[in-house]
Amino acid sequence: MSTPDFSQRLFDWYDQHGRHDLPWQEDINPYRVWVSEIMLQQTQVNTVIPYYQRFMQQFPDVLSLANANIDSVLHLWTGLGYYARARNLHRAAQRVRDEHAGHFPDELEQVMDLPGIGRSTAAAILSIACRQQHAILDGNVKRVLTRFFAIAGWPGQREVERQLWQQAEQLTPATRSADYTQAIMDLGATLCTRSKPRCTDCPVAIDCLAYQSATVSDYPGKKPRKALPERETIMLLLSNNAGHIYLQQRPPTGLWGGLWGLPEAGCALRRDSLKKWCREQLQFALRDVQVWPGLRHSFSHFHLDITPVHIRGEFLNSSIMDSANAVWYNTRQPDARGLAAPVKKLLDSYANMDAGKCDSGTL
């Protein structure tokens, strides 16, 4: 199939069946497209929509995001996962403010130079918002092209990715670049899906090599699988007389960087060990201890098994709470701060817990 034939069939399908009413397709500008592209990385559209709408209400333009406190940014990201995206979004907005006079750059290299923006994301922003001709290669497009051209191997491999970029560039037309970019993403998201693809509805299926050979399920090639390692931690819900929970802000980089979390005990799950650890590490004197049911949180690269422990007590040194990185958190009147998903789940459980009805054990 020639390049014009491929794009024209895609346009004909997109004009009639494509998605045209997504929130980021309204009042299109580079900032709005950029935020949507970052949120959509490894996250489905239906999940992103409410997050995107809340984010835009709070930060309607790049300067409002750049001038915001990182806590307010992470708070709106809570539950969306992959929090490095939010931190990079905030840092990039500040770069746009400081280095580009608040105007989002319109050159591919300049966009790629911003934190958290790779080649495909930069291309999508400039294609959709600035009508520039750039090929994209997100997960949906990779799936379409590996099937259409029967390109074997895992797309994360350098040689496979090189072939995909080459095909993507050849297929991208000079006209209607924004529509083509949205159309090929829509094709992968709605028809050429991972499982149960709707090949009979696909506008280019007649020339798809995988469809012709009945090998659609073989593409794209799978990433070599490794058993995910398992880690364990003890998360402490330290409560004071008012029933508030002690939170610490995590370092700006690393796991859940910049988010507020619970202390994690580096000791055995025994009353005497916890008592000693809390006194030595936190200067916190415990009165009673309850172990809650375990909670597993899975990342892309490991499983984290969490043992939550609720401890009532008090700090021996009240000046500890003078730190900007420590707060007593009122779960019944929560304020706006970024929380990792399992921490939020534990805090919600604590807030909703009726006395005497918690399925827990006492140490």
Mean pLDDT (whole number) for 296-309: 92
Asked if 261 and 250 count as a contact pair (C-beta separation under 8 A), the reply is yes
Q: Please check whether the domain covering 230-362 is classified as CATH 3.40.50.300.
A: no
The answer to whether residue 26 is catalytic is no
Q: By percentage, how much of the chain surpasses pLDDT 70?
A: 96
Q: What is the pLDDT of residues 137-167, one digit of tens each?
A: 999 999 999 999 999 999 999 999 999 999 9
Average model confidence (pLDDT) across the chain: 92
The pLDDT score that the predictor gives to residue 3 is: 65
Tell me: pLDDT of 1 over 70. no
What are the residue ranges spanned by the domains of the chain? 3-218, 230-362
The predicted structure's pLDDT at residue 353: 76
Distances (CA, A) of 171 to 145, 163, 336: 10, 13, 45
pLDDT at 310 over 50: yes
Pick the CATH number of 3-218 from 1.10.340.30, 1.50.10.10, 3.40.50.300, 1.10.10.10: 1.10.340.30
| pLDDT of 323 over the 90 cut | no
User: What's at 336, amino acid-wise?
Assistant: A
Of residues 354 and 61, more confidently modeled: 61
Catalytic residue (choose from 26, 37, 109, 314): 37
Per-residue pLDDT band for 252 (boundaries 50, 70, 90) equals confident
Angle at 90 between CA 88 and CA 91, to 5 degrees: 65
H or E stretch at 212: helix 209-212
Place of tokens 């490095």: 84
Average the pLDDT over 124-140 and give the result: 96
Where is 296: in which H helix or E strand? strand 295-298
- DSSP secondary structure letter of residue 316: S
Mean pLDDT over 326-349 rounds to: 92
Is 184 strand, coil or helix? helix
The pLDDT tens digits of the residues spanning 37-72 come to: 999 998 999 999 999 999 999 999 999 999 999 999
Instruction: Note the pLDDT tens digit of each residue in 180-231.
Output: 999 999 999 999 999 999 999 999 999 999 999 999 999 999 988 888 899 9
> Cα separation of 27 and 135, whole Å?
23
b/e per residue 204-214 (b: at least 16 CB within 10 A): bbeebebbeee
According to DSSP, the β-strands at 303-315 and 284-291 are antiparallel
Confidence of residue 356 (pLDDT cuts 50, 70, 90): very low
- Of 288, 280, 279, nearest in space to 241 by CA: 288
**pLDDT for 355 beyond 80:** no
Which pLDDT belongs to residue 354?
Answer: 46
The secondary structure of residue 69, as a DSSP letter, is -
Residue 357 confidence (pLDDT): 44
Q: Which of residues 268 and 150 earns the better pLDDT score?
A: 150
Query: For residue 322, what pLDDT is reported?
Result: 83
